[in-house]
Amino acid sequence: MPPPRTESVATSAAPGLKRELSVRDLALFAIACTIAPRWIAAAAHAGPGSILLWMLGAVLMLLPLARAVAALTVKYPGSGGMYIWTREDFGAWHGFLSFWAYWLGIAFWFPSAAIFYISVAIYTFGPSYGQWSENRPYLLIASLATIWLALITNLVGLRIGKWTENLGGLATWIMGVLLAMVGAMFAVKHGFATRMFVMPNWSWNTVSFWAVIAYATTGLELAGMMAGEIRDPERTMPRAAWIASAVTVLFYVGTTVAMLVVLDPAGISELTGLGQFSSTAGQAVGAAWLSPVIAMLILATALGQFGAFGTAVSRLPLAAGVDGLLPQAFGKVHPRWGTPHISILVLGAVASFLLVAIQLGDTLRAAYQELVSLMVITGFLPFGYIFGSAWKAGRRVSAVLGWAVTALAIATALIPTAAVTNVWLFEIKLVTGTLATIGSGWFIYRRALFQKVQPL
């Protein structure tokens, strides 16, 4: 059965979308998409060897992805990102699968990110709030509220919404500088809490962190999904990508070093490590204001990330809807707000369901780890296509490096951490989730083809 062919959105913005993003806007948008403070504590917990892993992640994934996205955005300057790239280079089914897997990966990202941001913000505000950061029902309710608040406010349009991403990107930069400065002040007064070394420690309990490092250096592909709304994509996208890449490397390396200066890796919590840092460092350097300031910066960063991810990923169902592979409503833009509102609302519903479902049968920390692993596996499947398109666009070195890191990230994400007490349940959830992602995508795609060939 031949794939459906419709008017391509690869060379133009979808109807109703406007080119609002300048170099500054796109760079801050990319920073909000790429940098996640949630990975700082995980990196510090893994020890000083994570600094080398950050640098390797930058060389082997971040920079190749920046080159690939810049080239593909220029080649296909329309809304839809990887869906358009893959569809044009490998066919309709592969384009749909890349969109579907990535879209569900972001649906897994929302609940895991919400759990982190709510936990760490509450914990960081002060000791009197610490008990709430481990309260499972409270975190579940607060996470659902945060997801829906971010998505609903994102419906009003990019002209206003881009300032949310700008705020998040700026807050991330300020947080990185603040953590580095406080770490330096602590080192001058008290020395290093951690014995520094270069090589990462090998342990089956921490090897899954390699996948986290790789995932933490992605995000520029989200900026590529906004190609139909970028002013002069050929000039703007490469500049914004390089700015965001440089800031990302400096942020991750600088903040990880700062946290290791103040805290011993064994005592750092992957969920509330930033709160531990601000409390310890604030007392040591006489900065009582540090904890509430960092808590506010964390919330501003979260606002920017939820806005950026919700905005960018909604362009994937929009393009698929225009092609007739999803119900017609997905291919429409709200007449007043100029946003793909149906896609945004459906994303929120799926993310909410996953947040509740993943809690069943395990501890909060194990549930968080399962969300991260599912997010990494489903999120990385489309990168095989992204780097395949990069190969066809002439970015051969970037493609080879990207393929290698993608395969390693998926493999290591299958390895449970020490927080997982029921290994079989953990692995069953990962395998089931991955197969369900591919199977559901195939079912929806074939159903769309069947409906297209039916007589009127």
Q: Are 198 and 55 in contact (CB under 8 A)?
A: no
The predicted-structure confidence for 24-51, as pLDDT tens digits, reads as follows 888 888 888 888 888 898 889 888 888 9
Percent of the chain with pLDDT over 90: 20
The CATH number covering residue 390 comes to 1.20.1740.10
- Whether residue 283 is contained in a domain is answered as yes
Residue 433: count other Cβ atoms within 10 Å of its Cβ.
Answer: 21
Please give the Cα distance from 402 to 387 (Å, whole number).
Answer: 6
Poorest-confidence range of 131-135, 182-186, 334-338?
A: 131-135
- Whether residue 8 is contained in a domain is answered as no
pLDDT at position 5 is 41
pLDDT at position 383 is 92
Q: Which amino acid is at 443?
A: F
**252 has a pLDDT exceeding 90:** yes
> How many domains would you assign to the chain?
1
Sign of CA dihedral 166, 171, 174, 176: negative
Backbone angles phi, psi at 245, to 5 degrees: -65, -45
pLDDT at position 374 is 67
- Whether residue 455 is contained in a domain is answered as no
**126 has a pLDDT exceeding 80:** no
pLDDT: which is higher, 179 or 208: 179
Is residue 148 packed enough to be buried (19+ CB in 10 Å), middle (13-18) or exposed (0-12)?
middle
- The boundaries of the domain holding residue 177 are 23-447
Cα 36–Cα 42–Cα 47 angle in degrees, nearest 5:
130
Beta-carbon contacts of 142 under 8 Å, excluding residues fewer than 6 positions away, are 114, 118
What average pLDDT does the segment 9-19 reach? 50
Beta-carbon contacts of 350 under 8 Å, excluding residues fewer than 6 positions away, are 104, 107
- Whether residue 2 is contained in a domain is answered as no
pLDDT at position 225 is 84
Question: For the stretch 215-230, what's the b/e string if a residue is b when 16 or more beta carbons lie within 10 angstroms of its beta carbon?
Answer: bbbbbbbbbbbbbbbb
The predicted-structure confidence for 405-447, as pLDDT tens digits, reads as follows 988 888 877 776 665 666 777 777 778 878 888 888 899 998 8
- State the DSSP H helix or E strand holding residue 406, giving kind and residue range, or none if neither: helix 396-413
Residue 120: count other Cβ atoms within 10 Å of its Cβ.
Answer: 29
The predicted-structure confidence for 297-324, as pLDDT tens digits, reads as follows 988 888 788 888 888 888 888 888 888 8
63 to 211, 257, 326, 411: CA distances (angstroms): 17, 22, 33, 22
Q: What is the radius of gyration, based on Cα positions, of the chain?
A: 21
- Whether residue 15 is contained in a domain is answered as no
- Whether residue 432 is contained in a domain is answered as yes
- Whether residue 349 is contained in a domain is answered as yes
- Whether residue 5 is contained in a domain is answered as no
